[in-house]
Amino acid sequence: MIELSETIKIAFSALKANKTRSFLTMLGIVIGVSSVILLLSIGTGLKNYITKQLSELGSNTVFVMPGNIGLGSDGGNTGSTPGAGAALPKFTERHLSKLKSKAKTIKYIMPYIESNASLKYQSKTHITQLSGVGSEYPEIRNQNVIEGSFFTPSQERSSKRVVILGTKAAEELFGNQDPIGKKITISDQRYTVIGVLEEKGGFAGVSYDDLAFAPWTTVMDLNELEYIQSFWIVSESAETVSETKQEIEDILLEDFEKEDFSVLDTKSLLDTISSILSVLTAALGGIAAISLLVGGIGIMNIMLVSVTERTREIGLRKAVGAPPRAILIQFIAEAVIFSVCGGLIGIIIGVLGSLAINYFIQTTIAPWAIILSFGVSSLVGIIFGVAPAAKAARLDPITALRYE
Amino acid sequence: MPLLKLVNVSKVYQMDGVSVTALDRDDFEVESGEFVAIMGPSGSGKSTLMHLAGCLDTPSSGKIIFNNRNVSNLNETELANIRSREIGFVFQSFNLIPRMTAVDNVSLPLIYVGMKMKIRKEKALAALERVGLKDRINHFPNQLSGGEQQRVAIARALVNNPRVIMADEPTGNLDTKSGQEIMAIFTSLNQKGITIVMVTHEGEIAAFAKRIVRVRDGKIISDSPTT
């Protein structure tokens, strides 16, 4: 029996004899492994990021949205998207007070209204998202006010024209100046900046700090809205979330049909989003894995060529005493070296690539992705190496020796 | 007891559905220490005779006894095992592996008996010294002349201390001078007790042997000592 180190040495010397060819053959596996790692890192990174964002909301947050979104455990498929033609529920202040008074497990509730606004300060104009929220927003979102203060419940009730800015929006408008107390203009109306929120970071070029907040009552006036878009609710605790959801549903069912609105909690949102992202990640990884397969076919192709080219060498080795098994192992070893070296280079490129992309969007290098892609690539080498190796092992020494 | 004994041996090949009888019920013996030349025109079956005698192939019928062992029905691995320990081969076209140096080519057969690299190298160097190539050990085949390449091949055949060397037209690809040199090496090896069985169609080369066996149409037609 030949030692393994010996077999590997022989295989390496054979591959070194054809450097360009060996490199190109390996390239298929390199590309396969590195793209599997890259795509899985991006997918995992995206999932981790969204999970982190949602979990910052706290597991006891509940959203009431128009339309039947039907996510996760709420059952049903993704139905009509909100605002997709169907008659939307007309949430009003009446429903807000009804929910406030009737639902026993609600800790905070606030309407949430999204709109875009053009903020003007002196000669500067900045277009950003202006969200209409309640005075409980900092508690619900777990975001502190770093300068000035948030608006009060009484300012909320009286539709005061006050805004709170994210750090990025504040910087855009005021540069190094202190924004507190400054007057800005939104749709020809004068607003006072009363606070700046702490920094939240961003993702894929979208900043969570380039935002402005005003009392929801003010935003509804500004946009001449009749109805409230959605509610953000915080349940007393994580344990009471399902109870809260039930209460809200019961209360709203008095005025609306079941399919008119959706009551979602962070967990079901999280479950749905992460399952979507998992499928997406797996699909991307799967597509990348196809290139591994192609790489494997490349190895098999080159091994078949190599067996033919080296027919006389095989004949000679057999004549001087190599049993078929030794020939089989030698050629499988060559194929495996292609795939293992390609795999290792692919891991290096994949990891470096993921680290580079991390500057733009969050990537998470999953160890299992490395192990998986390396394992698959090695396996590819063995599988695609077997047929050419078996062909070599079966050669008749006399015929092989005479091969021209 | 002869080293090698073929009893009523036939070899029939199937080529495109047609049976070709390469050897037809032949008897052949080689004693230890002999130098036998097998002669005959091409297609006569002389190579087949050598392949059977060298355990490269098994007969269609008949019996082959090599070193007191019936090898007629052994499988490929068992035959390979005998070849790696007891038989050395020299071919017409040298059959050196081009990407390997002379010493690596010579030590090749020892890999398959599981010998350690250090010992392999020592033995290969000793074998190269025996064929007078001590100063060419790290040359690649394409850096050597035809005669030198064949000497490397002889060293490779010698390296495992075989009972017999099988040489198939060893001078066929060489000029006369190199051919004479190779034959001188064979003669001296034989004088030191190594058994040699050589296939050739050149009378001049066969004359170096002590005994000539002539084959025609698959039959041994004469077997006589050289004078």
Residue A70 has pLDDT above 70, yes or no: no
Residue that wins the pLDDT comparison between B139 and A236: B139
B121 Cβ contact partners less than 8 Å away, ≥ 6 residues apart = B103, B107
Query: Chain B contact for A10, CB < 8 A?
Result: yes
**Confidence label for A342 from pLDDT (cuts 50, 70 and 90):** very high
Could you tell me what percent of chain A has a pLDDT over 70? 93
At residue A72, the pLDDT reads 42
**Confidence label for A84 from pLDDT (cuts 50, 70 and 90):** very low
Widest pairwise Cα distance in chain B: 51
Phi, psi of A172 (to 5 degrees): -60, -40
Q: If you average pLDDT over each of A114-118, A273-277, B147-151, which comes out highest?
A: B147-151
B120 Cβ contact partners less than 8 Å away, ≥ 6 residues apart = B107, B110, B111
How many angstroms away from the CA of A362 is the closest CA of chain B? 49
Query: Chain B contact for A1, CB < 8 A?
Result: yes
Report the C-alpha gap between A395 and A131 in whole angstroms: 77
Query: Are A317 and B100 within 8 A, CB to CB?
Result: no
At residue A82, the pLDDT reads 47
At residue A203, the pLDDT reads 58
Residue that wins the pLDDT comparison between A54 and A387: A387
At residue A88, the pLDDT reads 67
Phi, psi of B70 (to 5 degrees): -75, 115
Average per-residue pLDDT in chain B? 93
Contact at 8 Å (CB) between A372 and A59? no
Sign (positive or negative) of CA dihedral A60, A65, A68, A71: negative
ipTM over 0.85: yes
How many angstroms away from the CA of A387 is the closest CA of chain B? 19
Report the C-alpha gap between A268 and A252 in whole angstroms: 20
Report the C-alpha gap between B63 and B13 in whole angstroms: 17
Using DSSP, state whether B58 is helix, strand or coil. coil
Contact at 8 Å (CB) between A134 and A214? no
Quick one: tokens of A393?
């092992």
At residue A198, the pLDDT reads 87
- What are the C-alpha distances in Å from B176 to residues A23, A59, A148, B125, B208? 44, 94, 106, 27, 14
Query: Are A312 and B89 within 8 A, CB to CB?
Result: no
Query: Are B99 and A13 within 8 A, CB to CB?
Result: yes
> Which residue in chain B has the smallest CA separation from A17?
B99
Query: Are B97 and A325 within 8 A, CB to CB?
Result: no
**Confidence label for A206 from pLDDT (cuts 50, 70 and 90):** low
At residue A204, the pLDDT reads 54
Q: Are strands B35-39 and B211-216 parallel, antiparallel or unpaired?
A: parallel
Token match 């290096």: residue? A348
Phi, psi of A258 (to 5 degrees): -60, -35
What is the CB neighbour count within 10 angstroms for residue B153? 28
Least confident range of A153-157, B52-56, B89-93, B127-131: A153-157
Residue A30 has pLDDT above 90, yes or no: yes
Long-range contacts of B119-125 (CB under 8 A, 24+ apart): B123/B159, B124/B155, B124/B159
Quick one: tokens of B159?
């390296």
Facing B114 at nearest CB: one of A1, A10, A398: A1
Could you tell me what percent of chain A has a pLDDT over 90? 29
At residue A5, the pLDDT reads 82
How many angstroms away from the CA of B227 is the closest CA of chain A? 33
**Confidence label for B223 from pLDDT (cuts 50, 70 and 90):** very high
Report the C-alpha gap between A263 and A250 in whole angstroms: 11
> Which residue in chain A has the smallest CA separation from B75?
A323
Which DSSP state fits A58? -
Please give the angle made by the CA atoms of A235, A260 and A239, to the nearest 5 degrees.
20
Using DSSP, state whether A147 is helix, strand or coil. strand
Residue range A276-294: mean pLDDT, rounded: 86
Q: How many residues does chain B have?
A: 227
> Which residue in chain B has the smallest CA separation from A312?
B95
Residue that wins the pLDDT comparison between A43 and A79: A43
Residue A73 has pLDDT above 50, yes or no: no
At residue A256, the pLDDT reads 85
What is the CB neighbour count within 10 angstroms for residue A85? 8
**Which residues of chain B are within 8 Å of residue A395 when distances are taken between CB atoms?**
none
**Confidence label for B142 from pLDDT (cuts 50, 70 and 90):** very high
Beta bridge partners of A133: A215
Contact at 8 Å (CB) between A288 and A32? yes
Which DSSP state fits A237? S
* pLDDT per position as a tens digit, B2-34: 999 999 999 998 888 889 888 999 999 999 999
Residue A345 has pLDDT above 60, yes or no: yes
Concatenated DSSP letters for B101-159? -HHHHHHHHHHTTT--HHHHHHHHHHHHHHTT-GGGTT--GGGS-HHHHHHHHHHHHHT
Query: Are B81 and A321 within 8 A, CB to CB?
Result: yes
At residue A1, the pLDDT reads 60
Token match 């399952």: residue? A275
At residue A78, the pLDDT reads 44
Report the C-alpha gap between B75 and A180 in whole angstroms: 94
Facing A316 at nearest CB: one of B57, B95, B160: B95
Query: Are B95 and A1 within 8 A, CB to CB?
Result: no
Q: How many residues does chain A have?
A: 404
* pLDDT per position as a tens digit, A153-200: 888 888 889 999 988 888 888 888 888 888 888 888 888 999 999 887
Query: Chain B contact for A318, CB < 8 A?
Result: yes
How far is residue A354 CA from its own chain's centroid?
13
Concatenated DSSP letters for B155-224? HHHHTT--SEEEEESTTTTS-HHHHHHHHHHHHHHHHTT-EEEEEES-HHHHTTSSEEEEEETTEEEEEE
Residue A202 has pLDDT above 70, yes or no: no
> Which of B52, B55, B76, B159 to substitute to test the interface with A, most A CBs within 10 Å?
B76
B101 Cβ contact partners less than 8 Å away, ≥ 6 residues apart = B137, B138, B139, B140
At residue A75, the pLDDT reads 41
A299 Cβ contact partners less than 8 Å away, ≥ 6 residues apart = A25, A28, A29, A335, A338, A339, A380, A381, A384, A385
Residue A76 has pLDDT above 50, yes or no: no
Helix axes of A19-56 and A324-357: crossing angle, nearest 10 degrees: 40
Residue range A390-403: mean pLDDT, rounded: 92
**Which residues of chain A are within 8 Å of residue B77 when distances are taken between CB atoms?**
323-325
Which DSSP state fits A199? P
Residue that wins the pLDDT comparison between A257 and A34: A34
A130 Cβ contact partners less than 8 Å away, ≥ 6 residues apart = A115, A116, A117, A119, A163, A186, A211, A212, A213, A214, A219, A222
Token match 């060397």: residue? B165
How far is residue A85 CA from its own chain's centroid?
30
**Confidence label for A69 from pLDDT (cuts 50, 70 and 90):** low
A5 Cβ contact partners less than 8 Å away, ≥ 6 residues apart = none
Average per-residue pLDDT in chain A? 85
Phi, psi of A244 (to 5 degrees): -60, -45
Size of interface A-B (CB pairs under 8 A): 64
Query: Chain B contact for A390, CB < 8 A?
Result: no
Pick from B180, B186, B110, B108: which is nearest to B141 by CA? B108
Report the C-alpha gap between A175 and B207 in whole angstroms: 106
Residue B82: enclosing H or E segment and its boundaries? helix B76-86
Residue A319 has pLDDT above 90, yes or no: yes
Report the C-alpha gap between A200 and A338 in whole angstroms: 46
Report the C-alpha gap between A345 and B157 in whole angstroms: 41
* pLDDT per position as a tens digit, A85-123: 455 678 888 888 888 888 888 888 999 998 888 888 888
What pTM was estimated for this model as a whole?
0.74
